[in-house]
């Protein structure tokens, strides 16, 4: 019997200490360290009970059969989900699905379970948060009640593994959520780092030995009270996050880590009365509520993974009454905005230091691409000058610190999407990409070209008090 040992574990990052302290030195979190009892019956791990013959066996790398190389996958039946996983769930893989509480994780997984069960696969949905009746009620509301998904309300990992091991192993098992699970091998309370980690370990072992694909749901919490799913990120095969803001109805599934597929793909869903609906053409959705006449908006031709995505960038530049003007950004990197503002001042001949600047990516989308620089700059200049940009134009290109417009990847796909959605013109870096005749392209070399182009179109409407103050660019 192992010695019971007291340890103090940070609930947000998992750092271990041998005495309590107010602040975690690893993640700088205050009051996140909680006493946990490590040791206990199973802590020595499975190695202690494993037969000696299984230890340390080696296998040749080239011995893989064709099937193993292909990483056999089971499609979920939901195209947007399969896009993110890379074509379906890989046998024996473990996916961690993180997201804010209430964002729609359970809904998405219930729909995925039903879709997969409908194809004749054995699927188990284990809820540690809701009673079977509640889960069934939700399934009924989603119109999925007739699908043969096995439901259980259970939080003990040993019981879950026991139940799932009876009969043919399921193709997919959903654990909702990992924070509610507990294993007998450790004595800490459910939700603590040690419990989350040990439970995840047991479930991962189950997945690897039976070939069942397991999805662990993890709530991301901002305070350190419940162990964040971050502590199991390194143990699982794939990490996906379900994002969106409560004020908007669309939700984005993003792969953060994926051992068996791409990490830059997104799946777009819309939350409706009847659950999550797939959005096969997100550009149309993100541009739906666009105000064509407003100054300060530019359409960015972006890419999310292999998929082009057009989004509206909105800027508001207004004279500031503050000594330190405000810069507020939603959906983009604030440091990148500071950089674009500095380049516009230094090389575009525009004074923005006396103005508050607000930037918003419409629809609650979060953009990480530097290719959005040009669209951001266009929206900023447009807002400052009060000149609305031509509504049928898209922008993309990275801006360098010298003011040069630099080429970006996948120009052709961006142009194709713009053309598909009825845009007539693209302002872009110099490059080899050409579009069909239906879409005119204009190559920009320097940020000053962009400013000059917008200034030439003149303020069509807007606040005169906020008229442009261009300087001679030399």
Q: Which residues bind ligand TYD (CB under 6 A)?
A: 99, 101-107, 138, 141-142, 271, 273-275
Of 114 and 418, CB closest to ligand TYD: 114
Distance of closest approach, residue 132 Cβ to ligand TYD, in angstroms: 15
Distance of closest approach, residue 107 Cβ to ligand TYD, in angstroms: 3
Of 275 and 386, CB closest to Mg ion: 275
Return the one option of Mg ion, ligand TYD, none that residue 271 interacts with (CB less than 5 to 8 A, by type): ligand TYD
Return the one option of Mg ion, ligand TYD, none that residue 420 interacts with (CB less than 5 to 8 A, by type): none
> Is residue 230 a contact partner of residue 116, using CB atoms and an 8 Å limit?
no
Query: According to the annotation, is 72 in a ligand binding site?
Result: no
Query: According to the annotation, is 468 in a ligand binding site?
Result: no
CB under 8 A, 24+ apart: contacts of 345-348: 346/403, 347/402, 347/403, 347/446, 347/447, 347/448, 347/473, 348/377, 348/381, 348/403, 348/447, 348/448, 348/450, 348/451, 348/473
Picking from 277, 317, 330, 310, the residue whose alpha carbon sits closest to that of residue 439 is 310
Distance of closest approach, residue 106 Cβ to Mg ion, in angstroms: 3
Query: According to the annotation, is 106 in a ligand binding site?
Result: yes
Give me the residue whose beta carbon is nearest to Mg ion. 106
Query: According to the annotation, is 105 in a ligand binding site?
Result: yes
User: Alpha carbon of 149 to those of 146, 193, 226, 323, 351: distances in Å?
Assistant: 9, 30, 29, 61, 61
Of 181 and 439, CB closest to Mg ion: 181
Of 275 and 403, CB closest to ligand TYD: 275
Distance of closest approach, residue 191 Cβ to ligand TYD, in angstroms: 15
Of 106 and 195, CB closest to Mg ion: 106
- The DSSP-derived string for 57-113 is ----GGG--HHHHT--EE--S-HHHHHHHTSSEETT-EEEEEE-TTSSHHHHHHHHH
Query: According to the annotation, is 100 in a ligand binding site?
Result: yes
CA within 13 Å, CB half, 357: 23
Return the one option of Mg ion, ligand TYD, none that residue 76 interacts with (CB less than 5 to 8 A, by type): none
Of 110 and 377, CB closest to ligand TYD: 110
| 258 Cβ contact partners less than 8 Å away, ≥ 6 residues apart | 85, 86, 237, 238, 239
- Which residues would be at the binding site for Mg ion (CB under 5 A)? 106
Q: Kindly report the backbone phi and psi dihedral angles of residue 176, in degrees, each rounded to the nearest multiple of 5, phi listed first.
A: -120, 95
Return the one option of Mg ion, ligand TYD, none that residue 474 interacts with (CB less than 5 to 8 A, by type): none
Query: According to the annotation, is 454 in a ligand binding site?
Result: no
Provide the annotated binding site: 99-106
Binding-site residue numbers for ATP are: 99-106
């Amino acid at each position: 019997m192992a010695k019971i040992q007291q340890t103090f574990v940070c609930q947000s990052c998992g750092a271990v200490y041998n005495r309590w302290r107010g602040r975690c030195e690893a993640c700088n979190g205050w009051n996140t360290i909680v006493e946990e009892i490590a040791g206990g019956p199973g802590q020595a791990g499975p190695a202690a009970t494993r037969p000696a013959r299984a230890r340390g066996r080696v296998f040749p790398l080239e011995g893989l059969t064709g099937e193993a190389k292909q990483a056999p996958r089971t499609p979920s039946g939901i195209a947007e989900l399969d896009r993110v996983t890379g074509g379906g769930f890989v046998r024996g893989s473990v996916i961690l699905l993180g997201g804010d509480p209430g964002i729609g994780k359970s809904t998405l997984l219930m729909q995925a379970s039903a879709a997969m069960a409908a194809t004749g696969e054995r699927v188990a949905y284990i809820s540690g948060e809701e009673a079977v009746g509640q889960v069934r009620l939700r399934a009924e509301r989603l119109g999925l009640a007739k699908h043969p998904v096995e439901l259980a309300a259970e939080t003990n990992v040993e019981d879950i593994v026991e139940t799932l091991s009876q009969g043919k192993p399921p193709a997919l098992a959903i654990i909702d959520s990992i924070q509610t699970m507990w294993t007998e091998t450790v004595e800490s309370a459910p939700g603590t780092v040690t419990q989350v980690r040990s439970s995840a370990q047991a479930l991962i072992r189950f997945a690897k030995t039976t070939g069942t694909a397991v999805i662990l749901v993890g709530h991301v919490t901002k305070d350190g009270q419940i162990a964040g799913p971050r502590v199991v990120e390194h143990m699982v095969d794939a990490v996906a996050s379900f994002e969106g803001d409560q004020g908007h109805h669309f939700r984005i599934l993003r792969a953060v880590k994926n051992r068996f597929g791409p990490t830059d793909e997104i799946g777009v869903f819309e939350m409706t009365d009847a659950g999550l609906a797939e959005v096969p053409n997100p550009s149309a959705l993100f541009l739906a509520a666009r105000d064509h006449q407003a100054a300060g908006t530019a359409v960015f031709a972006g890419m999310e993974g292999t998929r082009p995505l057009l989004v509206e960038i909105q800027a508001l530049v207004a004279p500031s009454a503050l000594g330190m003007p405000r810069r507020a950004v939603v959906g983009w990197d604030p440091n990148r905005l500071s950089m674009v503002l500095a380049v516009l001042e230094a090389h575009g001949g525009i004074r923005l230091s006396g103005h508050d600047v607000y930037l918003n990516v419409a629809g609650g989308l979060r953009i990480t691409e530097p290719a959005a620089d040009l669209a951001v700059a266009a929206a900023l200049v447009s807002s400052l000058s009060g000149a609305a940009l031509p509504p049928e134009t898209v922008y993309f290109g990275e801006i360098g610190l010298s003011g040069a417009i630099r080429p970006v990847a996948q120009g052709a796909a961006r142009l194709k999407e713009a053309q598909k959605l009825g845009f007539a013109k693209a302002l872009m870096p110099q490059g080899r990409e050409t579009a069909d005749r239906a879409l005119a392209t204009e190559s920009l070399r320097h940020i000053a070209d962009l400013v000059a182009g917008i200034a030439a179109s003149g303020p069509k409407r807007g606040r005169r008090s906020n008229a442009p103050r261009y300087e001679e660019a030399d």
